């Protein structure tokens, strides 16, 4: 997806290592507070179980923490420092770490630990057993209205929290929305997110996934939180019709169509959904629904059947059904592990990157 100004989806990597190498094991230790016996966490306390994904700067692994009777699954995001050399790339990494540290919402993943060695950076975050939202919408022949309303509201709760922290998400798409074991969603992957320093600042970087990108992101006039609500409109549209609006393999043509054409097929959904999508997919951000904040969207008639307060407190049963299993799929991947080079590259120490969260907050 996308072109030169957009996030790369994958990098080529023929090797999946399920054991930590010598470099990994030299990662900075972290003191954990809030436990009876204070312990230091290091990578040898985690066991790699399987790969969960691959990104432009590294990979994500499912890991198991087990020590002194404490056992828990986490997702470990491993970033290669050699891939993070430009000033803008370093800034994005630190912004992601800041955002993960600051967030405190039922609808955004939480950072548990962050540490580093001379070669790599490591984020340890919540493991979301339900996988990504993309699977759950694509595995249904048609997505029911109640499902769309319920999870659209939860996504808005997550965006509302990020915006309250002056964060523009900038990469809302089904693959970045994860489903927990309790079947609620959490927003993840803040590598492209932008922290605004004040209420008057605007973002100007052209980034995101083009299928969900707001038109104003492509121009140089700057944009703000409302770009996330255009992406929300694209996602809701996809749940109804199977693809984002104006979808085309010709990305340039797709963006042009967003600006000059009316949103297609809206006559096939309810009056409330039609009105919501028309207002979210408004080309002019100053006229777009959500310009007054996320609550303006939640007040729309589309969500009138939902008990918003109970939903925010996770008191409403989610519509997704997960197959319960006591075992993690530990399928062994056939791997060829490359030899570690003896000469260590002198890569920059990311000062202030290390982080831990108290056990009492780990929920």
Known binding residues are 77
Q: Which of 171, 189, 211, 228 is catalytic?
A: 171
Distance CA 330, CA 48 (A): 10
Measuring CA to CA, how many Å separate 36 from each of 44, 216, 230, 358, 359? Answer: 21, 52, 48, 12, 10
**Three-class SS state of 66:** strand
- Binding site membership for ATP: which residues? 77
Distance CA 336, CA 69 (A): 33
- To the query of whether residue 199 is one of the catalytic residues in this protein, the response is no
Measuring CA to CA, how many Å separate 257 from each of 211, 253, 254, 262? Answer: 12, 6, 5, 8
At a CB cut-off of 8 Å and minimum separation 6, what does 324 contact? none
Q: Which of 131, 130, 127 shows the shortest CA–CA distance to 47?
A: 127
Helices (H), 190-250: 226-241
Q: Which residues, listed in sequence order, are joined to residue 212 by a DSSP beta bridge?
A: none
At a CB cut-off of 8 Å and minimum separation 6, what does 281 contact? 230, 233, 234, 237, 245, 258, 263
Longest dimension (CA), the chain: 65
Q: Which of 249, 321, 234, 338 shows the shortest CA–CA distance to 1?
A: 249
Would you please indicate which residues are annotated as catalytic (active-site) residues? Answer: 171
């Amino acid at each position: 997806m996308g072109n030169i100004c957009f996030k790369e989806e994958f990098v080529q990597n023929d090797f999946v290592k399920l054991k930590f190498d010598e470099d990994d094991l030299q990662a900075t230790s972290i003191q954990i507070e809030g436990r009876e016996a204070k312990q230091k966490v290091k990578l040898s306390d985690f066991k790699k179980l399987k790969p969960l994904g691959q990104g432009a700067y590294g990979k994500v692994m499912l890991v198991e923490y087990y020590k002194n009777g404490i056992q828990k699954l986490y997702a470990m995001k491993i970033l290669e420092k050699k891939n993070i050399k430009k000033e803008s790339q370093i800034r994005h990494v630190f912004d992601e770490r800041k955002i993960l540290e600051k967030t405190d919402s039922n609808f955004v993943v939480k950072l548990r630990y962050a540490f580093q060695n001379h070669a790599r950076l490591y984020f340890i975050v919540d493991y979301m057993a339900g996988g990504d939202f993309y699977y759950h919408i694509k595995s249904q022949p048609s997505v029911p209205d109640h499902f769309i309303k319920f999870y659209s509201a939860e996504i808005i709760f997550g965006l509302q929290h990020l915006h309250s922290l002056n964060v523009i998400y900038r990469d809302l798409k089904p693959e970045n929305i994860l489903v927990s074991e309790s079947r609620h969603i959490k927003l993840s992957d803040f590598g492209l997110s932008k922290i605004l320093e004040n209420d008057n600042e605007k973002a100007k970087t052209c980034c995101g996934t083009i299928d969900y990108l707001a038109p104003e992101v492509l121009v140089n006039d700057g944009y703000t939180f409302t770009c996330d609500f255009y992406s929300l409109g694209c996602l809701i549209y996809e749940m109804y019709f199977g693809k984002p609006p104006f979808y085309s393999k010709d990305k340039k043509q797709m963006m042009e169509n967003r600006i000059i054409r009316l949103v297609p097929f809206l006559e096939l959904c309810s009056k409330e959904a039609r009105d919501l999508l028309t207002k979210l997919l408004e080309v002019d951000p100053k006229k777009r629904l959500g310009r007054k904040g996320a609550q303006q969207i939640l007040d729309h008639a589309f969500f009138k059947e939902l008990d918003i307060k109970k939903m925010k407190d996770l008191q409403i049963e989610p519509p997704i059904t997960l197959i319960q299993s006591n075992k993690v799929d530990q399928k062994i991947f056939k791997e060829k592990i490359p030899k570690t080079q003896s000469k260590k590259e002198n890569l920059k120490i990311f000062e202030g990157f290390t982080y831990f969260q108290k056990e009492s907050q780990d929920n």
